[in-house]
């Protein structure tokens, strides 16, 4: 697959999605899982970073390790899509998952045990 400049785009491990599209998918899926209360499938920022590195093994941009910065761009609509739900960071604490503010304050905590 090539971009508009004819450069090769690596989409081999991301299901055919480009980097920006994969970020958007991860953020949207996380919020969808939160609203459906499918809590075991929610990814923390560290897990999102690992997913990006795994999906694009030949690319090593610093943004893969700066999830909060990319989330901020996504929430502001500067990634080419207006989010239906704002993306939040999630933290796993034992058998609970916490929805946090960008500064780490816990908004809601839910138990992973039904």
Structural domain of residue 37, as residue ranges?
Answer: 19-87
Count of domains in the chain?
1
pLDDT of residue 58: 80
Residue 13 has pLDDT above 80, yes or no: no
- The tokens for 25 are 């998918």
Q: In which residue are the tokens 């590195």 written? A: 53
Does the residue 82 lie in any domain?
yes
Split at pLDDT 50, 70, 90, the class of 10 is low
**Chain centroid, CA 31 distance in Å:** 9
How far apart, in whole angstroms, are the C-alpha atoms of residue 82 and residue 63? 20
Q: What angle do CA 32, 83, 111 make, to 5 degrees?
A: 30
- 34-93 pLDDT, tens digit each: 999 999 999 999 999 999 998 888 877 888 899 999 999 999 999 988 888 899 999 988
Does the residue 31 lie in any domain?
yes
pLDDT of residue 76: 94
Does the residue 2 lie in any domain?
no
- Sheet containing 90-93: give its strands across: 90-93, 96-100, 106-111
């Amino acid at each position: 697959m090539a971009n508009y400049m004819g450069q090769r785009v690596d989409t081999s491990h991301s299901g055919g999605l480009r980097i920006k599209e994969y970020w958007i998918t991860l953020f949207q899926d996380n919020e969808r899982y939160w609203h459906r209360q499918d809590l075991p499938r929610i990814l923390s920022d560290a897990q999102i970073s690992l997913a990006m590195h795994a999906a694009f093994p030949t690319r090593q941009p610093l943004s893969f390790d700066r999830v909060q910065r990319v989330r901020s761009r996504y929430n502001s609509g500067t990634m080419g899509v207006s989010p239906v739900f704002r993306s939040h960071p999630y933290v796993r604490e034992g058998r609970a998952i916490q929805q946090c503010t960008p500064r780490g304050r816990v908004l809601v905590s839910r138990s992973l045990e039904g």
